[in-house]
Structures are given as structure tokens and as C-alpha cells.
Amino acid sequence: MNRQTIAWVNGQRFHMVCGVMLLCLMGSPAWADGKTEKAFQVVATDTKGVETDVKNVIFYWEEKISETAFVPHELREVPVKRGTATVKIKFDGIKQIDLKPSGSSAPPNVTITLNDGKTGEFVLAIAGSFKGQSDFGEVELPAAEIKKLTFK
């Protein structure tokens, strides 16, 4: 093979690889369905009776993996315990969450009312907090200090 032929073959390979990469990117699920995560808005009432309007609310907790390292978790669902099972209730289906302190350092008991009117009593699986944006800036409400969350 001469140098021209080698250069032409390498150029063709380059264009083929670029084309395949472009097809992979355009065909990926993130691009194909165009979904973005839904933003949820709640009115949070703390244990002192103060109401706060919170936009883009998430359930937040940090997993400690060493003395100095933590992994943050941001969920759009509430992990609760029912017996020995952990149930993850998505924000989409929730109308209201009533929280009752457990009295000790254990996570609070919660009563969750779904949009269809069904209610259930659970224990919060993780001692996390609800984070989001208020009119005055970022807000973080520890679950143990919340009395009620009403989803809008």
C-alpha cells in the first residue's frame, strides 16, 4: 500500500467512527425521550408552626463512607419502613405527609396521604431532610423538625 491509500483508509475509518458515535449519542434514552425531572412544590409546616413555601423540593441525606467522605443522595421520593420492608413513595403520588416525632433519635413516624385519598402509616427509613428553594434562598428542613408537608 502506498501512503495515499493508507491516508485514505485512515480517513474513512475516522469518519465511520465519528458517525457511529454521533448515532449513539442521538439514539441514547436521555436524548430520545426528552424528559426532564419534574419539580415539586410544597408548603412545609415546622414544629413551631411556621409555614415555608418550598420549590424544587427533594429528600436529601448523606451516606457516610469514611471518617471524611460522604455521598450525597437527592431523591424525589420518600423512603419509609413498613414492617421490615422499605417502601419508596414517589412525590408524584403524594398529597400530604404528616410527621410525628419519635421522641428519641430515631426517625419520625409519618402518615402519608396519596392523591387518590389512600393513607398509610410508616416510619421514615432515613433521618434525612427536605431541601429546596424558598423566596429568600435555599432552605433545608430536617425531617425531625417538620410537622406537615403539603404538596401543591
Give the C-alpha separation, 104 to 115, whole Å: 31
Entry pTM: 0.73
Residue 32 — pLDDT band, cuts 50, 70, 90? Answer: very low
The grid coordinates listed for 7 are: 491516508
Q: What local confidence, expressed as pLDDT, does residue 52 receive?
A: 96
Other beta carbons less than 10 A from residue 48's beta carbon: 7
Query: Could you tell me the pLDDT band of residue 17, with boundaries at 50, 70 and 90?
Result: low
Q: Do 58 and 119 share a domain, yes or no?
A: yes
Q: Do 76 and 25 share a domain, yes or no?
A: no
| 103 — pLDDT class (breaks 50, 70, 90) | confident
**Co-location of 53 and 21 in the same domain:** no
How many domains does the structure of the chain reveal? 2
Chain centroid to CA 67? 25
66 falls within a domain = yes
Range of the domain at 97: 42-151
Q: Are residues 24 and 50 in the same domain?
A: no
Cβ-based burial of 117 (10 A; exposed 0-12, middle 13-18, buried ≥19): exposed
| 25 and 78 inside one domain | no
Query: Do the domain assignments include residue 26?
Result: yes
Same domain? For 61 and 124 the reply is yes
How many other C-beta atoms can be found within 10 angstroms of the C-beta atom of residue 56?
15
**Same domain assignment for residues 13 and 81:** no
Q: E strand or H helix at 7, and its extent? A: helix 3-27
Let me know whether 92 and 144 are in one domain. Answer: yes
Q: Beta partners for 58?
A: 131
Least confident of 14-18, 44-48, 87-91: 14-18
Same domain assignment for residues 46 and 121: yes
The per-residue pLDDT of the chain, averaged, comes to: 85
Element (H, E) at 140: strand 137-142
- Mean of the pLDDT values across residues 114-135? 95
Q: What is the pLDDT of residue 26?
A: 55
Among 35, 53, 110, 103, smallest CA distance to 77 is for 110
User: Would you say 134 and 118 are in contact if contact means Cβ atoms under 8 Å apart?
Assistant: no
